[in-house]
Amino acid sequence: MNILVIHEVNWKKKVVLEFHEFPEILSKYGHNVTVLDFEENWTREKWWDIGYFRTYVEKGICRVYPDGEIDLVRAPHLKVYILDRIFSVITHFFVIPTVIKNRNIEAIFLYSAPTNGFSTIFWARRYKIPVIFRSIDKLHRMRHPFLRLPVYRSEQYVFRNSDRVLALTPKLKEYAISLGADPSKVEVLLPGLNTNLFKPEGSAKGRLTEKSRRLLDSLGFKPDDRIIVFIGTFFDFSGVDDVLEDFNQIKKAIPDAKLLYVGDGPLRNKLDEFISKNGLENDVKITGFVDFKMVSSYINLAQVGIIPFKLWDVTAEIMPTKILQYLACGLPVVSTPLPGLMDVIEGEEQGVIYAQQGDEYIRALINIISDEKMAQKIGQNGLKYVVENHSWESSTKRLENILLEEVNRKKG
């Protein structure tokens, strides 16, 4: 199949997500995969660099699998804040049909709504191509309040007009139906995980590999330190600032506790200032974004992984991919009780301890770090759960079958 994957994030710079995994695995299966993205968080090389006005194409590239290559297409782009999105709504409208025709596209796998959702549906209908929409967030809740209504309307349009909707969690399935998606066309497709990359390395149990020793040394941590790890983007809803502000409570109970944040994001300056102001430079480390292939090694330094997300509308239905990465490395996880996540992973039998934000969350962290036997048992539960339920191969095979079904239905 010739497949077009469409999103509105930066494919080359965005932290590796399923948006990278699915297309590359499909290409490994022999499909020709083209990705159309949007250069968010752009920078100017010179002050007069206001963008580019020709379609940009880069062939045979990958982020995850060396043998999983896609072609990346970028529409003309204006490097002017606010106008960049508006400009891209227009340019994507004209670039999408060109890509469809030139690459003989047979199916579209869509992740976005406001920037190119209307254009995708419009041209797919014109060329009688199925659109499969992947619902992984409540998109309108992730926008500035001024933009929420138009984004909400774009979500409604995409949900109602896609040939199939694949929701990340049961809660997001309910959300899609509430916005007008045909219930018979909506189903849950759980996220997958590369268990060849994310797996226990033994360092959390005291059997340090040479790579683990080097990482610990680079962080200024010791082999006996009890490390709490968070990986991902520091959004306002992520709760990483709350855990940092309460970290002294953990230190009082567990003097050798350390906090490791692998990532970056909007809260970075706030975190750095708090660390400096409170003299926590030796106990709390922030790596910034790291190479995806190194994420597992950082996780394996720790005794527990955390998801301290605030229970906001934007987080209520999601299932953060990081939870599978923690579990696949044999770590127990302490998470706030996100309804969408709890619909999929019930609790300790699957490796997760749920605790409310605040004192309850801190107590749960102290308890799991203090009880090595309990931590090991819950971690093993999580590892078993991930291996049995979340392989990328099974998820991608299911997606491939859905794409083929819709292509054949359109042709029939």
Enumerate residues 6+ apart whose C-beta is below 8 A from 389.
190
CA–CA separation, 159 vs 113, rounded Å?
Answer: 9
> Do 267 and 382 reside in the same domain of the chain?
yes
Encoded tokens for 398: 């299911």
Low-confidence ranges of the chain (pLDDT < 70): 141-146, 202-207
Residue 147: what pLDDT?
A: 75
> Do 158 and 238 reside in the same domain of the chain?
no
> Do 56 and 43 reside in the same domain of the chain?
yes
pLDDT in tens, 112-135: 999 999 999 999 999 999 999 999
> Do 9 and 75 reside in the same domain of the chain?
yes
Enumerate residues 6+ apart whose C-beta is below 8 A from 368.
303, 304, 332, 334, 353, 374, 375, 378
The three-state secondary structure class of 352 is strand
Q: Is residue 198 part of a domain?
A: no
> Do 305 and 401 reside in the same domain of the chain?
no
Residue 238 is part of a domain; what is its CATH number?
Answer: 3.40.50.2000
Residue 205: what pLDDT?
A: 46
Q: Which amino acid is at 74?
A: R
> Do 181 and 252 reside in the same domain of the chain?
no
> Do 87 and 161 reside in the same domain of the chain?
yes
Instruction: Give residue 377's domain range.
Output: 203-389
pTM higher than 0.75, yes or no?
Answer: yes
Helix (H) or strand (E) holding 369: helix 359-370
CA–CA separation, 68 vs 338, rounded Å?
Answer: 33
Neighbouring-strand partners of residue 133:
110, 165
Q: Is residue 67 part of a domain?
A: yes
* Number of domains, the chain: 2
> Do 383 and 397 reside in the same domain of the chain?
no
> Do 172 and 209 reside in the same domain of the chain?
no
> Do 27 and 96 reside in the same domain of the chain?
yes
> Do 337 and 400 reside in the same domain of the chain?
no
Cα 278 to chain centroid distance, Å, stands at 31
pLDDT in tens, 242-277: 999 999 999 999 999 999 999 999 999 999 999 999
Q: Is residue 197 part of a domain?
A: no
Residue 210: what pLDDT?
A: 82
> Do 16 and 105 reside in the same domain of the chain?
yes
**What sign for the dihedral angle of Cα 111, 114, 117, 123?**
negative
Residue 137: what pLDDT?
A: 86
Enumerate residues 6+ apart whose C-beta is below 8 A from 332.
304, 305, 351, 352, 353, 368, 374, 375, 378, 379, 382
